[in-house]
Structure 1
Amino acid sequence: MSTLPARPDLPKRFYTDVTLVEEEGGFSIRLDGRAVRTPSRAVLSVPARAVAEEVAREWRAQGTHIDPATMPMTRLVNTVLDGVAPDPASVAEDLGRYAETDLLAYRAAEPQRLAALQAEGWDPVMDWASQRTGKSFARGVGVMFVAQPEPTVEALRALVRAEVDPFRLASLHQITTLTGSLLLALAVSEGFLDAERAWALAHIDEDWNIEQWGEDAEAQNRRANRFEDMRMAALMLDASRPR
């Protein structure tokens, strides 16, 4: 079976060798000896070896053309260096807004089995968050807005503001936007959940619908790509977690 040609708008691969170089303060990636740069022309340098190794793997895996869609870690690092590091306060502020609308606060009224699956999966995370913050969380049924207590919202925002590492902040933001849940992102960040479990918890409703009605191939592919983004953010969090 022949393979489809690369899209004509993708740049051709222009390098042969990919090397990882350890420097003072971090690691960079070289293509035939030249440093990889971000879209804003900053040298792509990261503090964690595991992140650099993943970036290098993505560049090595490119075929005749360079496809950014197949390079989730490179994209995330670019976001950190070009978008988050220059203005972390804005990213933290945007992330903090999820404290008021967390996915885990919105429960199904029916069917009973779906509601039970949500409670079984989500309650332990909310209980962990309550212990972590010392605050209580409101839960609601349906899609009507659930107002979280202001002390709870502020406690979550304080956790976000405490993240001064732009790599961790970007990873938290990516997981939160992928799952719709700041609580799941914080749970992954602090090691309470791994990426696979958090991803499953974020998709309880979707998986329920798939069980009832099935899923098409296009939706499966989109979900797989989004999980790779999730996995890279979790890898970055783990690599930057204080030991």
Structure 2
Amino acid sequence: MIRLPRLLNSKSIYSTYCRYQKYATRKRFYRGTAIVQNENKWEITLDHRRLKTPNGCVLNVDSEPLARAIAAEWEAQIEVIAQPTMHLTALCNTGLDNPGKLSSHDIASYLLDYFPTDTLLFHSDDEEELKKLQNDRWAPVLEWFQKRFNITQEVSRGLQPPPVTTETRAVLARHYLSYDFFTLSALSFGVEALKSPILMLACVDRFLEPKEAVLLARLEEEYQLSRWGRVPWAHELNQAELTARVSAALLVVQCSGETHSATTKASPNE
């Protein structure tokens, strides 16, 4: 098994990249944004100057829709540039600069090790109401996942992670490595935001919308809040931020995938 750098064992690539940046906010210094095509790449311009990554590379992407979304992200900054909220820009910077000096195999191995801790694989065995809620809401996604990858996956009803077969790891490894590094790093960010590889894969395959995935990821938390109460606005803001992160990751993955293939990814076992 490939051993991961300490970077991935403790923090996400994205979080490390946020620390890697020298600022969180600064005043808006440009009047307008646009995109330009340079051969088979798309670039973003700020007042006709090419947007660059913190390492000085030109920020270019393979997809026109993704370039337009990044330009819109910069256009949406009013008086100051709130870098922590600009998830598309940060994800693309991460994919291009690769501050952690990782490979696709590093990220794939990380995601495989993450899989046994997937939120959807831990079901309550104490509270009947929560148990029923998890079965009603999570079971259809787990059924889709097993059918999609032609595997069988147990769930845990305690604190110990469920067993994951060698065959399941192999199937998932092949699927992850079918993506390039740029796309895989964005996929990893979405997985960490949801704390669930299964939910992120369901979003990529359009089985779930980001908002649905976030609600499923927060199912137990929402159950507890319904019993004990919530802080007004705080939990809604957290949910909105989480949805924005997942949506950004999903946009990068889908735009990158559609650039290389006009068809949906075939099942790894086909």
TM-score interval, normalised by the smaller of the two chains = 0.7 to 0.9
The residue aligned with 2:172 is 156
Picking from 126, 141, 147, the partner of 2:142 is: 126
Task: Please show how residues 14-93 of structure 1 align to structure 2 within 5 Å.
Answer: 14-83=29-98, 87-93=103-109
Paired with 1:34 and 1:85, the residues of 2 have a C-alpha distance of: 28
Distance 1:9 1:207, change over 3 A: closer
Which piece of structure 1 moves more, 39-48 or 215-224? 215-224
CA gap of 1:9–1:181, structure 2 versus 1, over 3 A, is closer
CA contact (8 A) 1:99 1:182 kept: yes
Contact 1:100 1:153 in 2 (8 A): no
Q: Which amino acid aligns with 1:168?
A: T
Distance 1:110-1:176 versus aligned 2 partners, 3 A rule = same
1:226 aligns with 2:242: yes
Counterpart in the other structure of 1:208: 223
Shift of residue 44 of structure 1? Answer: 0.6
Higher deviation after alignment, 143-152 or 169-178:
143-152
Q: CA deviation at 1:236?
A: 2.0
1:10 offset after TM fit, Å? 2.9
- Tell me the equivalent position of 1:183: 198
What secondary structure does 2:44 align onto? strand
Structure 2 residue 185 is the aligned partner of structure 1 residue 170: yes
The 1:185/1:85 distance shift into structure 2, 3 A limit, reads farther
Q: State the one-letter code of the partner of 2:161.
A: F
Deviation at 1:177, TM superposition (A): 0.5
Cα displacement string for residues 212-231 of structure 1 (whole angstroms, at most 9, x for unaligned residues):
12222444333322221111
CA distance in 1, matches of 2:101, 2:184: 9
Structure 1 residue 10 and structure 2 residue 25: aligned? yes
Rounded to whole Å, the distance in 1 between the matches of 2:26 and 2:70 is 18
Equivalent pair of 2:44/2:51 in contact (CA under 8 Å): yes
- Gap regions ≥5 residues in structure 2: 1-22, 263-270
1:167 Cα shift?
3.5
1:61-89 deviations in whole A, cap 9, x for unaligned?
11222110231211111111112896322
Structure 1: runs of 5+ lacking an equivalent: 1-7
How many angstroms does 1:209 deviate by?
1.4
Aligned residue for 1:79, secondary structure, equals helix
Separation in structure 2 between the aligned mates of residue 27 and residue 190 of structure 1, nearest angstrom: 25
Does the CA contact (< 8 Å) of 2:116 and 2:161 recur in 1? no
* Correspondence 1:197 to 2:209: no
Moved over 3 A (4+): 217-220
Tell me if structure 1 keeps the 8 A contact 2:35–2:42. yes
Deviations 1:100-130 (A, max 9, x none): 2222111011322211121122222222222
- 1:145 alignment counterpart: 161
Q: Distance in 1 between matches of 2:37 and 2:183?
A: 21
- CA-based RMSD of the aligned residues comes to 2.1
Classify the secondary structure of the residue corresponding to 1:110: coil
Contact 1:138 1:149 in 2 (8 A): no
